[in-house]
Chain A
Amino acid sequence: MRSFRPVSLLALPIAGLLLAGCAAPAEEEADAAFTLYSGRDEDLVQPLIDAFTEETGIEVEVRYGNTPEMAALLLEEGDASPADVFLSQDAGALGAIADEGLFTTLPEDITGAVVPEFSSTDGSWVGVTGRARVVVYDGETLTEDDLPDTIDGYVTEEWAGRLGVAPTNASFQSFVTALRVIEGEDAAEQWAQALADNDPQIFESNIPILTAVNDGVIEAGLINHYYWFRQANEVGAENMRAQLKYLTAGDAGSIVNVTGAGLLNGAAENEDALAFIEYLVSEAGQQYFVNETFEYPLVPGIPAPEGLPALESLVTPNFDLSDLDSLAETQELLARVGLI
């Protein structure tokens, strides 16, 4: 008799919900003082939070995700967001949240702690670390001398078909915006057109570019510096085939973009949430990022990771992060030349 079988169907949802219930975290985090949305990964952020909790006794509830998705989530949630603090991997996402008016203004002792070029101009968010744009190249087929010192050198005929870029990616678009601000609209469009006509190797994001260079698939590419250090940390620096080239200071190809944090409107009065942002730009917080992610500290007086050019040498005189607001024009330009 087969007809007893439907009973097993009943068991499915019950067992499922029971299992999901058991696996859900116990109420241990119910007394968390605030909720952090982290656009940076758990392996990196959780030890920092544990140190913060140890020092202050403040419990934090953390939701991890990719920065773009966390930003989209915050925009969708609006004022109903359970989040108190947003820790972002790039300035663009912070700008998007600030533009919607979802951030409250941070006190000046926090925003004033970091180099002003690397924070919001209106105090809506604070920069936490810096990440430089670099050229990554295949150390087996090229030496550093083969590589041009400015971004213009990479769109010549000699480089046809050899350069990997990720035109739909936020960090590439920030770089093109910097190019527009520093060199002017016409020069920027000429550069982008030259790149588009030069048979570029198109990728979706930075990490696959690094992987492709490291595997000898392409000879060079435009990425952010810390990806290299994190992979080197995994496989050993001596095993890295890919190498980094820092372009001349002041060149758009060497701009520094930032990671940062902001306080959401609903948490304007939340001292504990504020204490966490303060911790991020404290000496302990900054040193943690230097040691673990090889990113630039943004608080003056804390030395950059070993082996990196000084942050000051990468500061671009006529450019600061608020200039990155004109993203729409950059995308228009990239669409016109056929890169996106």
Chain B
Amino acid sequence: MTLAPPAAAAPAPSGAAAASRAPGERGADARLASRAARPPLWLVLLGSFAALLASIPLVYLLVRAGGSGPERFVETLTRGRVLEYAANSLGLAAATTATALVLGTAVAFTLSRLRVPFPRLWLLASSLPLAVPSFLAGYGWLVLVPSAQGFVPSWLLLSAVTMPYVALPVAAALRGASGDLEGVARTLGRGPLSAFFVATWPQVRPAAIAGGLLVALYALSDFGLVAMMRFPTLTWGISAAYSASFDRAQAAILALLLVVLALLVVLGERSARGRVPRAAARAVAPRAIGRGMLLSLLPVVAAAPVVGVAIPLLGLATRLVQAETLRELDVPRLLAAIGSTVGVALAAAALAVVLALPIAALGARFRGRLVSVIESAGYLGHALPGIVVGLSLVFFSLAVLPGLYQSVVVLVFAYAVLFMPKAIGTMRSGLADVPVSLVAVARTLGESPLRAWWRVTVPLALPSVGIGALLVAIATMKELPATLLLRPTGIQTLATELWNRTVVFEFGAAAPYAAVLVLVAAVPAMVLSGIRSTAKEEW
């Protein structure tokens, strides 16, 4: 090994390794003991720094709302239908999260533990809804079912497009989790469902709940889909405050309410996540099932790909056929948009992973109030609509780094703030799964701490870093509002090109961009469906 460790992966895993070097820790007890230990100062500093950067939108909102007295807060929050919108936001987030959790876990279990034909292909299909921007899904559905409106379609569509956030990590965890416990539970007389809950659920729960958190924050911050489905939520109110009132204080107060809702969700996740020590993993051969069972499971597995991908794309294709603007496609322009989309997505993924690593490392090995605050702050950006995060970085960049304003650097940084939470959860569980005892063994074999970290922690945690990076890359490709505000003048991504054409009804001209956006975003989604959460014993 002559290569130096990459800066991207450096801080956290060595933090985990550092924890493992605390005195008096040996064998299986080491992990539990290290939780009680205090995190090293440098890791806390790095984590706090990342959390501070993630809090820029919050600071901005406080500055904007700060000028108004408490009466203004009360008046804005109690006016008209604001509280009803807030209730709608919460209800939609709760229903979507519950549905995505149940459906995602069921899909992951079916594809990992039961013998179904083409399991890899189905898992790949289950990852595809990630690639479809929610507004595009809504648009495609409205073409085919123009009367769709209100809570139910918003809930079902959001559930379909967010289901992979649960299904993929749970499937990855199941591939690593031990299945013999479930067999033991069955032989002891438990039914299949009961055996699942007793033996397997505890092992996948952290992955499922962390995915559920991403779903909830996605649902809270979504604007495109609920606007199309005519289901008014807080994001409507925020948008109206900017676009009709031009009142940034009012918008900030409403966005702060959204932050409060998001914090409730994040705290809920922290208490629901649980910390189950994982047993040594051994892959399990899938169980054979009967034809009737197989047929009844098909709708479960097919639901999200059909609702979230196939039907919306069919709708788009229908509009394409009707359009009269089938003009010649500007290929160099399309290629340039693909290039900048992939470019900013890769850079954003790398930066988000770097920022998320210290937070994930803290969350993986340590508890306590400070860790809790740092972790919660890391999730903030994901709960806010893109326009709020975009404006906060306009404000921040002009105040602190005017030279970088409207440069790719600030744009990539905005993506990292927005989507860092997608990397925190997966990387946290990936790092937590690295057995401290293995690092200790490497040390007793004479490896230096750095080499022990490099040869044990890095390879074991790397897949989870990859998952986090891919999730960030996909989200970045689809992002529009912050991109419009922060991109260097003249640069186009696939999302802005799509926006350019849909605002003027040029569905024919828009369709290639929509198709390419989904295709490009589908590549990381497909890679994602194949990654294991942590490297495990092969079978």
Footprint of B on A, CB under 8 Å?
Answer: 2-7, 9-10, 12-13, 15-25, 29, 35, 41-44, 61-69, 71-73, 75-77, 80, 82, 92-93, 96, 168-170, 173, 201-205, 207-208, 211-212, 215-217, 230-231, 233-236, 239, 327-328, 331, 334-336, 338-340
Contact = CB atoms under 8 A, between A and B. Distances in A.
Interface string B371-391: 000000000000000010001
Contacts of B66: none
Contacts of B481: 69
Given A4-B3, A25-B491, A62-B489, A215 B343 contact: no
Interface stretch (B18-26, B114-122, B175-183, B503-511): B503-511
Q: Which 5 residue pairs of A and B lie closest in terms of their CB atoms, listed nearest first?
A: A19-B343, A16-B346, A68-B243, A335-B80, A16-B347
A235 to B, nearest CB: 6
B146 to A, nearest CB: 3
A42 B6 contact: no
A12 B469 contact: yes
Contacts of A92: 244, 246
B169 interface: no
B454 to A, nearest CB: 7
A4 B395 CA distance: 41
Contacts of B350: 9, 12-13, 16
A23 B336 contact: yes
19 contacts: A6-B462, A9-B462, A9-B465, A10-B6, A12-B8, A12-B469, A16-B347, A24-B340, A24-B490, A41-B504, A42-B500, A69-B485, A72-B242, A72-B246, A75-B246, A168-B243, A169-B240, A217-B146, A334-B80
A233 B508 CA distance: 12
Contacts of B322: 235, 239
A234 B506 CA distance: 6
Given A69-B484, A234-B324, A21 B236 contact: no
Contacts of A6: 3, 5-6, 9, 458, 462
B491 A13 contact: no
A261 B350 CA distance: 41
A65 to B, nearest CB: 5
Interface stretch (B48-56, B89-97, B225-233, B299-307): B225-233
Nearest to A18: B343
B408 interface: yes
Interface of B: 1, 3, 5-9, 79-81, 142, 146-147, 227-228, 230, 232, 236-237, 239-240, 242-246, 248, 322-325, 336-337, 339-340, 342-351, 353, 387, 391, 394-395, 398, 402, 405-406, 408, 412, 454-455, 458-459, 462, 465, 469, 481, 484-485, 488-491, 496, 500-501, 503-508, 535
B228 A23 contact: no
A7 B458 CA distance: 11
Instruction: Pick from B9, B337, B504 the residue with the most CB of A within 10 Å.
Output: B504
B408 A9 contact: no
A331 B336 contact: no
Nearest to B509: A43
Contacts of B3: 4, 6-7
B346 A19 contact: yes
Nearest to B485: A73
B395 A76 contact: yes
Contacts of A328: 245
A11 B428 CA distance: 23
Contacts of B488: 24-25
Contact of B248 (A24, A62, A75): A75
Given A234-B506, A334-B80, A13 B347 contact: yes
Contacts of B503: 41, 66
A160 B405 CA distance: 51
B340 A19 contact: yes
Contacts of B325: 234
A17 B343 contact: yes
Given A13-B351, A16-B345, A205 B507 contact: no
Given A202-B232, A234-B505, A338 B81 contact: yes
B347 A66 contact: no
Contacts of B1: 3
Contact of A23 (B147, B232, B491): B491
B81 A9 contact: no
Nearest to B407: A24
Given A19-B340, A72-B248, A234-B506, A13 B490 contact: no
Given A10-B8, A169-B244, A203 B230 contact: yes
Contacts of A22: 339, 343
A170 B243 contact: yes
A299 to B, nearest CB: 24
A217 B5 contact: no
Contacts of A35: 489
Which of A24, A202, A205 has the most B CB atoms < 10 Å from its CB? Answer: A24
A3 B490 CA distance: 41
A216 B146 contact: yes
B245 to A, nearest CB: 6
A238 B245 CA distance: 37
B340 A2 contact: no
Nearest to B459: A2
Given A43-B500, A204-B227, A340-B81, A76 B391 contact: yes
B264 to A, nearest CB: 25
Contacts of A73: 391, 394, 485
A80 B398 contact: yes
Contacts of B501: 43
Given A22-B343, A73-B394, A335-B79, A211 B142 contact: yes
Given A5-B459, A23-B491, A203-B230, A77 B244 contact: no
A212 B244 CA distance: 22
Nearest to B84: A338
A3 B246 contact: no
Contacts of B79: 335
A173 B146 contact: no
A63 B323 CA distance: 28
A19 B343 CA distance: 5
A64 B340 contact: no
A338 B82 CA distance: 10
Contacts of B408: 17, 20-21, 24
A19 B230 contact: no
Contacts of B324: 234-236
Residue picked from B337, B484, B505, most chain A C-beta under 10 Å: B505
B534 to A, nearest CB: 12
B504 A44 contact: yes
A168 B239 contact: yes
A168 B247 CA distance: 13
Nearest to B223: A204
A93 B245 CA distance: 9
A43 B346 CA distance: 29
A271 to B, nearest CB: 21
Nearest to B79: A335
A6 B5 CA distance: 7
A63 B339 CA distance: 19
B387 A204 contact: no
Nearest to A212: B146
Nearest to A80: B398
A4 B337 CA distance: 32
A328 B351 CA distance: 42
A29 B406 CA distance: 15
Contact of A20 (B340, B394, B455): B340
